[in-house]
Structure 1
Amino acid sequence: MSLLIRNADVITLADPTSSAPEHLDLRIADGVITDLGPGLVPRDDDEIIDGRDRLVTPGFVNAHTHSWEAPFKGRYDNMPLELWMLYSYPLLGSAPCSPDFIRARSQLFALESLKSGVTTVVDDVLETPTQDLEQLAAVLDAYDRIGIRANVSGHVINLPFVDTIPYVADRIPGEVTDQIRATALVTAEEYLDYSRQALNLVQGFGQDRLRYMLAPSAPQRCSADLLAGATEMAVRHDLECHIHLLETKTQLVTGTEFYGTSLPRYLRDIGALSPHTTFAHGIWVDDDDLEIMADHGVSVSHNPLSNLKLGSGVLPWRRYREAGVNLGLGTDGWSSSDTPRLLEVIKAASLLHKVADPDPAAWPTVTETLRAGTVGGAASARLADRIGTIEVGKRADVLMWDLTTLNFTPRQRLDHQLVYSENGSSLERVIVDGVVVVEQGRLLTMDEQQIVEEFNAYLPEIHAWQDRTDRLNQVFHPAFAASYETCSHTPSPINRRIGDGSHHAPLHAGHR
């Protein structure tokens, strides 16, 4: 059985210079786009879908997210990253999550992602105190059953967190610092051995929809041998190596304080850059950093909603584009942006940089942001040969939008209306790997009400744990707030018109 979508407006994104729709037919068989063109002749085995008054686009690729933040969605506000992490990534009071809870959490995240048109997630999963194979299998099982495409990580931090931020450790009571430093952390070889086992594990899931991803948390949070070893393994196995980089002014200062150079230069010098590397965020970069990234074929996942909520700064969009660095788009986690809906991110990226640069010629075009949310994310995920565009031979990750809704009335430039006018309510059908997984707003692969109820059953336990860990981690708040203030007022060679964090008022405990 094949699907034949007839007489639709199709945005293929195959042309880097255009996102204008074409009037085409589209045939899907065995998960692959097999035919594309006007006036395709129906075959006996075609299931025909009427594409009149419908827009067909590639599925969105969420190039950086954290499904494991699901319990914190909507909990915190008005804290910069380093303070927010105290509560969403608590240093004290964490216990391992059960595989059953992880499965419920992952299903909920995938449900909202699919229903908003996200067909691929780059899910940087962190478990505390560390991830085991049973926990990873729970994420893979959830994504396999629900039908989403995903890169799923083993996120790792192998340095004591109090030693990863400048001006913090000497401001924390010694007994608490000793407690944090006494926590057992994995070595580089242990993480790489775990990753080898994870590669074997993932083969049993997803019909090649699911892939393992190396994810050293950040250069200041991991040892040099782990960063270099993860990069080498990613290259050898054609995997993504996902690293947080220069999200905040504090991290800019960290490079100078810890390594005497910028963090991209440090990674280059230790052999931890390659075309398999994706940097999440990449805000506080200079021209030399951009040249290093371009020379090594690095991608960057831009996360404007999260960066705005955490006050992190504004990525230099046009400078990245001019340097030739591939840009994807991500929502970041459920606690730092409070949404997995990438269409909101595409709109935010289209708007934000219009106020970040006074030159209209430098502003993002709709074609650029749509491609960042599809093609760019696919490239950063090492999936550009499979997804991101609508072309013959690509896997069929496809969205269908109803053009009779108010969002597309009056009908003008459909690509512009998709970015600026659509809120997701016109999304009629979501196809992943040739399988219709969402139709008329309902998930077809699983019982979505059961997914919601299963997760909500954990809420009393979640709230009690969060209240307890919030109280425990208040001990770190003054030190982290002081570090943030110091770094915010440290002179920077990088010019920022907005969002540079230099005029924030002092932060005090309780601002959340």
Structure 2
Amino acid sequence: MTLLFRNATILSMDKVHGTMPFAGDLLVENNLIAAVGIDLAVPVEARVIDASGKLLMPGLVNAHMHSSETFFKGRYQGTPLEVWMLYSYPILMKGPIPERLLYLRSLLTAMESLKAGVTTMVDDFFDPPGFELTRLKRVFDAYEDAGIRANVSHCVIDKHVLDTMPYLRDIIPADLQAEVDGPSITTADYMAFCRDVFASQHGRAGRLGFMVSASAPQRCSVELMQACLALAQDKGVPYHTHVLETKTQAVTGPEFYGKSLIRYMHELGLLTPNTTIAHSIWVSDDDMALMGAAGCSVAHNAVSNLKLGSGIAPIRRLLDAGVHVGLGTDGMSSNDTARIFDVMRFAALLHDVAAPDTDRWITAAEVLRSATIESARTAMLDTITGSLEVGKRADLIMLDLSGYDYMPMNRLDHHLVYCENGSNIRMVVVDGRIAVEDNKLLTVDEVQIFAELRELLPAYMAEHAELEKLNARFEPYMREMYRRATIQDIGMNRYQGDLPLWPGANHRGS
């Protein structure tokens, strides 16, 4: 397909222009950006698109999300991560989601993402209790059919869940503990599984990749994490993990290993340029220095962190330390939408309350970089996507600048970050193919997909409700564990406000 966008305002996010817009044309040939300039010649059989009054910018990159949560959108509130996971990732399970619903769930995630201007997503997929290539293939099938670019993992845990959080073995009654199964895979089996995925799925359609994901340092054995990193480095893909999302996890490091989880990873050789860390909230100055020196990346999930009450990540200090920072939604149960524009606005506003020194606040330009080229860097895709440059893949969105959100037009980067919510998207192009035009998906029949979901979901959600009841028996003990961790004075505070950390406990900030 050949597309010529005429008379556009272009926000390229490249090293030359950054966030400064300029006027021009943009030519797409096959799946590449072939030219950017003024009065470009019209190739034979090109579709010429009048982009007057429109903005062309890189497609947004969602640096961290979980398609496994999509059917739980709007289901939970008032639960911190460790309690929320009882229901969204149940300790007690009744088998995996049916394969057709697995496909539809993945497809729905991609559909919503595309209509929100996300052209690349990093799906840290989780499919307990097993690791079956045929099931992971259905996720890749969905993303190929939807027309999105994606990095997909199959997140692994090889420690017993009750040994991944402090105090649980002492708190939970023995009869309940006996109901919880242990890990389902060994390091050797996971490596064999990953190699099969790389051989059969990696590179599909020229836009789908596999990445290696050891869930978290407290959830995985040293052998497994080091094997995962070695494989990721060998294949040139991210080692994707979760670190220090909550205060409970900040307590876990000293309780389990006598040091922070980041220091623990550093001593194991797990901090590298391939390492992308989701969340990174309860990190110390020493942690950040180690991460920056190693060239790590962070996927900042501003909205999810707020909904789960996890805290406010020290993004300015992470940036100062040299850490690459991208933006993610997290899953659609802890965020409830796939809209990176929402995350951009929250990220820009949230960190203004971190300190009164306005020179330290996060700027709109920095947020735009985090949503595009820096998010692409966290996925190790920055040579392919994240900016509009000749030779890169044609992943872009076109927005209408004529409406309320841009009237009057003052400064474009400010309007995009503080005003835009995705409602002005008129076209989404992925790998040179138009995926969305005038709010209509061109790759998938939305009406048919929604009709099938309405038919199949009630039975599945009723079954999940029964699973929630089964797992609710663990909630009092999870909340007690959360309370014990929360009241500890660990020398830092990532909460915001003047309430005590717990009734009767003293508030401490730093």
Distance in 1 (alpha carbons) for counterparts of 2:186 and 2:176: 23
How far 1:495 moved relative to its partner? 4.2
The equivalent position to 1:334 in structure 2, one of 325, 332, 335, is: 332
Aligned to 1:83: 83
Distance in 2 (alpha carbons) for counterparts of 1:382 and 1:500: 40
Aligned to 1:510: none
Aligned to 2:129: 129
Q: Does 1:41 align with 2:50?
A: no
How far 1:184 moved relative to its partner? 4.6
Contact 1:234 1:241 in 2 (8 A): yes
Distance in 1 (alpha carbons) for counterparts of 2:400 and 2:70: 30
Q: Does 1:491 align with 2:489?
A: yes
Residue identity matched to 2:5: I
Q: Gaps (5+ residues) in structure 2?
A: 505-510
Aligned to 1:191: 190
User: How many pairs align?
Assistant: 504
Q: TM-score, normalised by structure 2?
A: 0.96
Distance in 2 (alpha carbons) for counterparts of 1:320 and 1:13: 21
How far 1:497 moved relative to its partner? 6.2
Gap change, CA 1:502 and 1:396, over 3 Å in 2: farther
How far 1:457 moved relative to its partner? 2.0
Distance in 1 (alpha carbons) for counterparts of 2:492 and 2:130: 35
Q: How does 1:235-250 map to 2 (within 5 A)?
A: 235-250=233-248
Gap change, CA 1:85 and 1:232, over 3 Å in 2: same
Residue identity matched to 1:190: D
How far 1:17 moved relative to its partner? 7.9
Q: Does 1:370 align with 2:356?
A: no
How far 1:415 moved relative to its partner? 1.9
Gap change, CA 1:128 and 1:499, over 3 Å in 2: farther
How far 1:475 moved relative to its partner? 1.6
Gap change, CA 1:497 and 1:97, over 3 Å in 2: closer
How far 1:30 moved relative to its partner? 1.4
Aligned to 1:55: 55
Task: Say which SS state the counterpart of residue 356 (structure 2) adopts.
Answer: coil
Residue identity matched to 2:392: K
Task: Say which SS state the counterpart of residue 27 (structure 1) adopts.
Answer: strand
Contact 2:122 2:379 in 1 (8 A): yes
Contact 2:316 2:362 in 1 (8 A): yes
Aligned to 1:259: 257
Contact 2:131 2:193 in 1 (8 A): no
Residue identity matched to 1:378: A
Cα RMSD (Å):
1.6
Residue identity matched to 1:170: D
How far 1:287 moved relative to its partner? 1.2
Aligned to 1:421: 419
Contact 1:61 1:373 in 2 (8 A): yes
Contact 1:312 1:499 in 2 (8 A): no
Aligned to 1:509: none
Distance in 2 (alpha carbons) for counterparts of 1:344 and 1:24: 28
Distance in 2 (alpha carbons) for counterparts of 1:381 and 1:505: 41
How far 1:467 moved relative to its partner? 1.6
Q: How does 1:382-397 map to 2 (within 5 A)?
A: 382-397=380-395
Cα-to-partner distance string for 1:1-35 (whole Å, 9 max, x where unaligned) = 41111110000111388412110110011110110
Aligned to 1:176: 176
How far 1:394 moved relative to its partner? 0.8
Distance in 1 (alpha carbons) for counterparts of 2:202 and 2:360: 44
Residue identity matched to 2:411: R
Task: Say which SS state the counterpart of residue 265 (structure 2) adopts.
Answer: helix
Q: Does 1:303 align with 2:309?
A: no
Q: TM-score, normalised by structure 1?
A: 0.96
Contact 1:13 1:390 in 2 (8 A): yes
Residue identity matched to 1:408: Y
Contact 1:354 1:360 in 2 (8 A): yes
How far 1:203 moved relative to its partner? 4.1
Aligned to 2:508: none
Q: Gaps (5+ residues) in structure 1?
A: 507-512
Q: How does 1:83-232 map to 2 (within 5 A)?
A: 83-180=83-180, 182-203=181-202, 205-206=204-205, 208-232=206-230
